Structure 1
Amino acid sequence: MPGPLEGVKVVEIGSIGPGPWCAMMLSDMGADVLRVDRAGHVREHLPGERSYEFATLRGRRSVGVDLKRPGGAEVVLRLAEQADALIEGSRPGVAERLGIGPEKCLARNPRLVYGRMTGWGQDGPLAHLPGHDLNYLALSGLLHAIGPADGRPTPPLNLVGDYGGGGMLLAFGIAAGLIEAARSGRGQVVDAAMLDGSCLLGTLIHGLRQVGEWQDRRESNRLDGGAPFYGTYETADGRWVAIAANEPRFYAELLDALELAGENLPDQFDERRWPQLRARFAETFLTRTRAQWVETFRARDTCFSPVLTLDEARTHEHGVARSSFVPVDGVLQPAPAPRFGRTPGAVAGPAAVPGEHTEEALRDWGFSPAEIAGLAAAETVVQAEVRKERAIR
C-alpha cells in the first residue's frame, strides 16, 4: 500500500542524529529518500559492519559521493533538480562551501524545499559553535527543570533536542513547505534549530513559569515529579509503577485502589503537605509486587501503568495488539507512525550500507551508464562492497 508521501522525492545529505531521524520519518510515510553518504565513509566501512544508528537509517537507499572531488557537487545538484525536498545537517556555511547550498540548489529547482538541521540555527552568536542535544536543551531552560530536587539536572536521553526538537521539527517543516510549494510553485529554506524546537516543546512550562504557576525548583511542580499523584513508585520486587492521577475523579479512584480512601490524608492539592502524601504512597506501593499492582489496577478507571524496561515494552499486550514494534533489519523496531486509514504505507526496509546503491540509484535518478562509469573512474562516486551478514560494532 502506498504511504501518504508516495511520489515525494527527497535527497538526504548524510549526517547524524536528527537529520537521519527526520529522513526516516519521511521514508516511513512513503517518500523516496536517497541518502548521500561521504565517499570517505563508504571507503572506511567494513564489510559486514552495521552503523550504530542503523535503526534510524532504515528504509532508504544510499549513494557514495565525494563532494570535494570535481563533479561531486554537480552530482548532488543533479539529484536536487529532481527532488521535492533536500535535508542537510551541517554547520551554517558548510553546504555553501561544498557547492550544494540553498542558493545553488534552488537555482536548479525553484520548487525545492531545502531543509536545514542545526543546533543553534542559521544565525545568532552561537550559530557556528559545536553542540549536541544536551547543550541545546540546556539553553532552552528545560534541562534545569528535569531531575531530582536534591540532585543534578538529568538528561532525558537525547529525545528532546535531537528527535522531538530536531528531527520531528524538521519533518513538520518539510511537510508544511511541500504543501506551500504545491500551492505557490516556489520552494524555500526551512531553518530548523534544535534550540528552537526544544523551546517550542516547553511552551506550556515557560508559560506557567511566567504567570507564577511553575516553581523554579525541580520536583516542586505537578508535572516534574513534585506532585505525589504524578510520578513513579518502587514496588515490593524492586520494579516501578507510574501514576498520573491529576484529575480529582482519577485521584479518588487511585486512593480506593490503594485502600487509602478512608485515611485522613492531606488534600490532593495541598503542596505544603505533598511530601507527607508521597511518603504514604511510597509505603503503600512497597507492599505488593509490580505484577500485583497491575492486577489491582486492571479494571480501575485511573491513570496507572507499570514502568516497563525496553525489552518488556516490545512484548506488552497492548503494543503487540497494535503491532507497535515490527521486524526491520533483523530486529524489532518501533513501527512507522502516525497511522493512516487509507494510505497506511509499507513496513520500512533495512538500513543501507553507505554507498550500497550508488550505481542503481543514480541510474534511477537519470544518470546514464556512461556518466556513472566516468564518475566512478574519477572516484567522485563510490559503490560499496556489501555482505548479507551485518553485525553492530
Structure 2
Amino acid sequence: MTAYVPFAEPSFGRAEEEAVLRVVRSGWVSTGIEARAFEEEFAGYVGTAHAVALNSCTAALHVALRAYGIGPGDEVIVPTMTFTATAAAVVHAGATPVLADVVPDHLTLDPDQVKSLLTTRTRAIVPVHYGGRMALLGPLREICAAHGLRLIEDAAHTLPARDGADAAGRVGDASAFSFFATKPITTAEGGMLCTDDPRIADEARRWSLHGLSRGAVNRYRPGHPAAYDVDRPGFKYNMSDLAAALGRAQLAGADRLHARRTAIAEVYLRELAGLERLELPPPDTAANRSSWYLFPVRLRAAGAVRREAFRRRLHTLGVGTSVHFEPLHRFSWYRDHAVRAGQTFPVADRIADTLISLPVFPAMDEAAVARVVAAVRRAHDEPDPSRDGTRG
C-alpha cells in the first residue's frame, strides 16, 4: 500500500494473471468455454441451478425482468437507497419503477412500505442487499406469494452473505450479482444472473446475445453449422472469456477475500467504538453475516455540508472514502417519474446525508487499516469544521 489508502482497489495475484494469460494464449477471447465454466462454478458457489454470465449487474436485472415478461404498463418496487442501475433496469424493460423507503438499521427495503405501494399493476419487487447485509427477504417473499409477484434480488453487494438459513442469491425467483472493479469479486466489469428456473435462464441467454439461438463459439469452429435463428431483437450483454477467466480466479479465492474484509470490519468495529459522533454498522451475528462489501458509518447530527467536510478532512489525512447512496428520489429524473404524489421517504432523507463509506478491501495490509483508524479518530476529535455558520 502507498501512503494514501484509496476507497477501493482490486485484489489480484498470480492466479488472476495466469487465468488471463491462459485465455489470451488460447486464441479465443470472446464468450466461450471460460464463460460457461464460470457460470457452472458460480451457480455451484451460490447454490442455484443456473447462472448466466453477463457484462454487468444492470444487464442481469434487465434480462431477468424481460425473461419474466415485465414491461410497459407494469410496476416494479425498488428501494430509494440504491444505485441508479437498480431502477434504470426497470425503465429499460419498459416498466415503471416505484420507489420505497428503507428500514433504518440495514437501509434495506421496508416491507411495510412495500405493502402500501402495491397496485394492480405491480409485477415484481427488487430488494437491494445494502452494503453486504441482506434485505428482509422473509416478509418480502410472503408479500410476493400473497400477490403473485416476482422477487428479484439485487445482490450486487452481497457475495457471500447469509441471514439465518437464507443465502444471498438463492431466495428470490432470480438474483443479480455485480463484478464491477470494487465488488467482492471482480471481472473488471461484469455480472451474473442466477435462478433455479431453466426457462428463465434460457430466456436470459437469448435476450443477452442479440436474440441469437446459437453463440459465435458454436458457429465459428470446425464441424459446427453456421446457421442460427433470431427470435427477438436482443441485446449485447454477454461476458467475454477474458473477463470470465478473471472471475473464475477471483471466485476460487472468494472465501479468502471475504474473510479478509470481515477481519478489517472487525478491527473498525473494535477500534472506532465509542466515538460519540460516529454510528457504526451492526456487527455480524451467528445468524446474520455481511459480505462487508461496504463499511458505512453514520456521522451523527450531520448534514451534507458537515459530511463532506469530514470526508475532505479524511482525504487530507490520506484516506479515501465514498458515499452510498444519494437516494434516488432526490435525482431529477426519478423525482419526476418514480415518486407518487405526496410520497415521502423519512428514513432515507434522515440518514443519507450522514453516510460515509470507509475503505474495506482485501488488499489493505495491517498498516493501511491502522492508518484509516487513526485518520478517522483524528478527524472525529477535531473541532466541527462546519461551525462557521454553514448548515448541512
Q: TM-score range by the shorter chain?
A: under 0.3
Q: Which has the larger radius of gyration?
A: 1
What TM-score do the two structures reach when normalised by structure 2? 0.25
Q: TM-score, normalised by structure 1?
A: 0.25
